[in-house]
Structure 1
Amino acid sequence: MTLLSAPVEAAPMGRLQLSDLPRLARRHPLVLIGGGLLALLIVLALAAPLYAGDPLNIDPFKRLQPPSAEMWFGSDNLGRDVFARTVFGARISLVVGLTSAAGAALGGLMIGVIAGYNRAFDNVTMRVMDGLMSIPTILLAIALISLTGPGVGILIVAITVAQLPSVARLVRSVVMSVRERPYVEAAVCGGARLPKVLWRHILPNTIPALMVQSAIVCADAILTEAGLSFLGVGVPPEIPSWGNMISSSRLYLNIAPITVFAPGICLAVMVLAVNLLGDGLRDLFDPRSKRRR
Structure 2
Amino acid sequence: MKGRLIIYFKKPHLKDRWFWGDRYLRSLLHFFRKKNISSLERVFINLCKALKEKKISYIKNLPFSKIKEEDKIIVLGIGKNVLKGYNKKNKIVAGIGLMTHPNEWRTIFEDYPLATYLQHSTWTATIYNRWYGENTSKIWPVGIDTYYWKAEETAARKDILVYVKFLWDKEKNTTEILQPILNLLDDHQIDYKLIAYGSYTIKEYKKILTNSIGMIFLCEHESQGLAYQEALAMDVPIFAWDQGFWLDTNRFTWGEKNPVPASSIPYFDATCGEKFKDLEEFNSKLPRFIESIKKGRYEPRNYILKNLSLEKSAERMLMILNEAYG
- Tell which structure's C-alpha radius of gyration is larger: 1
TM-score normalised to the size of structure 1?
A: 0.26
Relative to its length, the structure with more strand (as a share) is: 2
Relative to its length, the structure with more helix (as a share) is: 1
TM-score normalised to the size of structure 2?
A: 0.24
* More contact order relative to length (CA 8 Å, sep ≥ 6): 1
